[in-house]
Amino acid sequence: MEYRIVAEMAEPGGGTLKEWHMVRPDAVVAMCGRELDMSEKSLPSDAWGTERARPFCHTCGALFLREVPHGA
Ligand SMILES: [Zn+2]
């Protein structure tokens, strides 16, 4: 399992995207603590910082940066 990015929808079960959150391997909530529907759309963690993964949860982004240093 790897980090992944899971969509938070504006309404349960679909509709429009609210924002993306980062989820730790095997976690059942986002890094920021938000409970997500893990069956929603997801992206690989390397989509973080790209146009595909916007808007992105600021809390998750900050935690992910600290936890997973890039360019290492
Ligand atoms: Zn988040």
For residue 24, what pLDDT is reported?
A: 96
> Nearest-CA neighbor of 21 among 39, 42, 1, 2?
42
The average pLDDT across 5-27 equals 90
Distance 71 CA to ligand 1 centre (A): 22
Distance 22 CA to ligand 1 centre (A): 6
Spatial separation of the C-alpha atoms in residues 5 and 2, rounded to whole Å:
10
Distance 58 CA to ligand 1 centre (A): 7
Distance 47 CA to ligand 1 centre (A): 15
pLDDT digits (tens, 9 = 90+) for 44-63: 999 999 999 999 999 999 99
Count the neighbouring beta carbons within 10 Å of the beta carbon of residue 22: 27
- 72 pLDDT band (50/70/90 cuts)? very low
Tokens of 53: 């993964």
- 69 pLDDT band (50/70/90 cuts)? confident
